[in-house]
Structure 1
Amino acid sequence: MPKASPDDQSTAEAPRAAEASVASKHPLRIVIAGDTFPPDVNGAANFTERLAIGLADRGHDVHIIAPAATRRHGTFREEHGDATLTVHRLNSTRWPLHDWLRFATPWTVQFHSRRILNGFSADVVHIQSHIVIGRGLAKVAHDRGIRTIATNHFMPDNLIEHAPPMPRSLLNRIAKIAWKDAANTYKLVQAITTPTRKAAVFLEEAIGITGVYAISCGIKASDYTPRFDRPTTNDIVFVGRVTAEKNIDVLLKAMTKLDPALNTTLTVVGGGDLLNKLTQTSIDLGLGDRVKFAGYLSDEELRRTLTDGAVFAMPSTAELQSIASLEAMASGLPIVVADAMALPHLVDDGSNGYLFRPGDVDDLAAKLTAVLTKSDDDYLAMRRASLAMIEPHDIDRTLDTFEKLYRGESVAIPVAEAAAAPSAS
């Protein structure tokens, strides 16, 4: 047989390459797993649900592995958004120091992971946590040669917040052990992601790795309704878990520093273990008639609250992205957030909002005042700036990127922020 010339080879290989490209775009069989999933209400659970719904809408076969929300465990077909997902709920136990958090029984996770993968020939596994389910599933997937992606939502503050009272030095030691555990799991995967560049740098320093991808959790901005006039009330909105790491007490104290002539109110959306304590704190500070603890709201009620708000405030110092802040921006709200962790990349200071010094009540009050005393033209310009800055966080971009990672394709993630992360030690 005559030997083909280079030109002949490229001509012959072109159809095969095209066929391979088409074949590589077949729907994927995806397992997404984590230690929290709706009905839990938190950033990691919400992201996991949005990711699963988006992938299912694109025609992929998506299975979820998560702790059972009650004692009832097994495999169920569950409605989430406009998608019907297969959810494998593992037997779980409630963490006694938390009002709803449940963990799967650690020593059974690998057994159940093998059973689930035996019945579902997954193309890729995507873990959302290294703590219990992610650790066990990653080991099983690694042993079977299944491509595995990990997204890190973990911060030491998340762990310390729910630990029993103990010396800070011991808590720091526990955090280091947790990071070491994370490193042992993440070395089994083919790619690691986290929501922002700053969070990626933080993770790289914490466990001594490089190459972490920064991929926004993403939101469907079209689900939110901005207004293009100035609200008639000066309602400050906070959305998130009512827990210690969110520093809501700082926001309450800042409320006492605002000029009474502004007639400001505060709406706190969310629930958590500090709800009763902070309700009493607001009364003690003389804010009983100005602060509303709305609890958990339906999606429609939440979006209406954001639409009608005047400014969004996030005093937390442990945000790896802050979906709540993104939702506020998609609603056209100026934002005032702590200059900590990943929050600064959401703010063009003075354009769509302001950063304040973490924990500084006076600075937070000053920045809220700066927004609320803007002229109508300048205030509406801030709202437009928030809408412009939300565009890179569209969920479709997030889905496109994860699909490429799942298929082993190259992914170029632009560096969205230049500031270095704080030390993870």
Structure 2
Amino acid sequence: MSGDVTTATAEPTGATGGHRPLRVLIAADTFPPDVNGAATFAEQLAVGLAERGHEVHVVAPASSRQYGTFDEEHQGVTLVVHRLKSYKWPLHAWLRFVWPWSVKKWTGPILDAVKPDVLHIQSHVVIGRGIVPEANARGIRVVATNHFMPENLLEYTPFGKWTLPIALKIAWSDAAKTYRLADTITTPTNLAADYLRKAIAGQRVLAISCGIDASRYVAREGRPANNDIVFVGRVAPEKNLDVLVRAVALLPGSLAATLTIVGDGEMIPKLTALAKELGLEDRVRFLGFVSDEAKRTALTNGTVFAMPSTAELQSISSLEAMASGLPVVAADSMALPHLIDGNGYLFVPGDEHDLAAKLEAVLTAPEAEYTAMRQRSTAMIEAHDINRTLSTFEALYRGEPVA
């Protein structure tokens, strides 16, 4: 691990650790009803802080043509959400964005009205870029968390393979301009922190897990009767689900393996056509967008979780699978390797033959070995407890050191 990369932790301290409650403003380019890892974390953070007694406000793009300040219910908690006027990105199924030049105009008055103790941005792309200088001008502490990989967004831009490396270099250079204005920079994992530190020229980065509430997930008793491979997440190009579908086609027919894809996205038509082409129509299920309860049920009933993506800064869905007691087979890329340690296998990114081999190894594992992988997943999830994450951010918000 680089000396400039720190794994940040703080022990749970109760509602406010004996301090006065904070007024926190979370600024995010994506927030529910958007469905993605960054939006999920921003909501989980806001809800968790509010449940601890802090006053929480959120600034995010409007999810429709309606914009303004609203009381919104999220996970049973009412949050004050300041929705900025937004527009649909034409090359993406659901992404909405705020015109960059309008962010300062909208967010300056919000900062003046809310007077937060701390501003916590979830990316530098649009809202973070505009609001951080406004916070600096008002002497407001800034914590910046990066969930963003330029590679993810550039899927929806017209750059070709020759210009993509140049675009990535420019994108990371642009990110550094905003992050240099923050008091603290965080990202979900050590690998992501090291990657980010190098990308933005050596700044100190703290690794803080997004965390999950493992108590919400159920690990079933015993081995499932069926061999069901599960994926949860956006059905988007960077998830490389075509590799997973092709891998299922390579598995021995005697396993009668099925694939359940939980999530919505623009790749469903292409993947449906691919499944038909490979003769997998009866073995690949696309559940689309489902309730949290239905998602948790799919994980509980699964046999193994597969994550073929090569652009994961943490992968909350993989953590959810681990909390559900599933072995995990993941691409050996970005931050996914840190989730595999005796609870599954890594495969060569983009290689459906290697993915098939690793899935087969899990599905044919002797009972004792399979049970050990399940138990290892549930043991590893303890380090990602949401209460530890919340306590660590509370400390950072107050300018306190974290170990």
- What range is the shorter-chain TM-score in? over 0.9
Please tell me whether the aligned partners of residues 228 and 380 of structure 1 are also in contact (alpha carbons under 8 angstroms). Answer: no
For residue 6 of structure 1, what is the aligned residue in structure 2? none
The one-letter code matched in structure 1 to 2:108 is R
Q: Which residue of 1 aligns with 2:218?
A: 225
State the alpha-carbon separation in 1 of the partners of residues 17 and 364 from structure 2: 58
- Structure 1: runs of 5 or more not aligned: 1-21, 413-425
Which of the numbers 318, 321, 337 marks the counterpart of 2:330?
337
How far apart are residue 23 of structure 1 and its match? 10
Q: For residue 352 of structure 1, what is the aligned residue in structure 2?
A: 343
Once the two structures are superposed, residues 137-195 of structure 1 have per-residue CA deviations (whole angstroms, 9 ceiling, x without a partner) of 1010011110000000111211211112x422222222222111111101111000000
2:26 paired with 1:32: yes
Taking the aligned partners of 1:163 and 1:174, their CA distance within structure 2 comes to: 10
Quick one: which of 181, 184, 206 aligns to 1:191? Answer: 184
Give the corresponding residue for 2:152.
158
CA distance in 1, matches of 2:146, 2:359: 32
Residue 246 of structure 1 is matched in structure 2 by: 239
* Unpaired runs of at least 5, structure 2: 1-15
1:68 alignment counterpart: 62
SS in 1 for 2:50: helix
Distance 1:62 1:376, change over 3 A: same
**In structure 2, what is the equivalent of residue 379 of structure 1?**
370
Task: Provide the C-alpha distance between the structure 2 equivalents of 1:113 and 1:173, rounded to a whole number of angstroms.
Answer: 31
Q: Corresponding residue for 2:40?
A: 46
Contact 1:128 1:151 in 2 (8 A): yes
What residue is the counterpart of 1:396 in the other structure?
Answer: 387
Residue of structure 2 aligned with 1:134, choices 128, 137, 140 = 128
Counterpart check, 1:106 vs 2:97: no
1:312 partnered with 2:272: no
From the CA coordinates, give the structure whose radius of gyration is larger. Answer: 1
RMSD of equivalent CA atoms: 1.1
Displacement of 1:210: 2.9
Residue 235 in structure 1 maps to residue 228 in structure 2 = yes
Q: 1:78 aligns with which of 52, 72, 75?
A: 72
Of the two structures, which has the highest relative contact order with CA contacts closer than 8 Å and spacing of 6 or more? 2
Give the % identical residues: 61
Measured against aligned partners, the alpha-carbon deviations of 1:371-392 in whole angstroms (never above 9, x if no partner) come to 0111222211111110001000
Contact 1:79 1:85 in 2 (8 A): yes
Shift of residue 24 of structure 1?
7.6
> Could you tell me which residue of structure 2 aligns to residue 170 of structure 1?
163
TM-score normalised per structure 1: 0.90
1:366 to 357, 372, 376: 357
Shift of 1:411: 1.1
Q: For the Cα contact (< 8 Å) 1:55–1:399, is it kept in 2?
A: yes
Instruction: Tell me how far apart the structure 2 counterparts of residues 223 and 44 of structure 1 sit (CA, whole Å).
Output: 19
Rounded Cα–Cα distance in structure 1 between residues aligned with 2:191 and 2:314: 9
- Counterpart code for 2:121: I
SS at match of 2:47: helix
* TM-score for the superposition, normalised by structure 2: 0.95
Corresponding position of 1:301: 294
Q: Identify which range, 219-228 or 154-163, moves more after superposition.
A: 154-163
For 2:277 and 2:224, locate their aligned partners in 1 and report how far apart those are by CA, in whole Å: 29
Match in the other structure for 2:175: 182
